[in-house]
Amino acid sequence: MSKHLRFIARTIMVQDGNVDAAYKTLNRVLTQDGIIESVKRKRYFEKPCRERQRKSYENCKRIYNTEMARKIAFISQTNRADPWLGC
């Protein structure tokens, strides 16, 4: 941190003395930036073979989840084009 400007990145101001909300916001921002999970992962060494397995697993999971969410959203949509239009 000493090489960069301090108190600019990863900083949240506390509003109205609400430290809990500020900490929650900080946690949310850090998880969204992927810092918390990377710190947890780097606690122990992850062998390159395990890293490749994990990456491919996350990729497949992401593809599956997006496809499934697309299908569910398509089926559960309410504003559909009228199938009997014109007859």
Partner 1 sequence: MFKLNCILASSVSNVCRQLSASLNASGSSLKVAYGFGSVGLQRTLCASAVRLQDTAASIAGSEKSSRDYSHFSPLIDQESSLRWGGKKFEELPIVHVKATYNNTHIQLTESTGQSMVRTSCGTEGFKNIKKSTPIAAQTAGISAAAKAKAKGVTFVRVVVKGLGPGRLPAIKGLTMGGLEVVSITDNTPVPHNGCRPRKARRL
- 32 forms part of the interface with partner 1 (CB under 8 A): yes
Contact range with partner 1 by CB under 8 A, out of 19-27, 52-60, 65-73, 74-82: 19-27
- 67 forms part of the interface with partner 1 (CB under 8 A): no
CA distance 22 to 18: 6
> In the bound complex, what is the minimum distance in angstroms from residue 76's beta carbon to partner 1?
24
CA distance 61 to 73: 18
- Please name the residues in contact with 13: beta carbons below 8 A apart, sequence gap of 6 or more: 22
Distance, CA of 4 to chain centre: 26
Residues that bind partner 1 (CB under 8 A): 1, 4-15, 17, 19-20, 22-23, 25-26, 29-30, 32-36, 38-40, 42-47
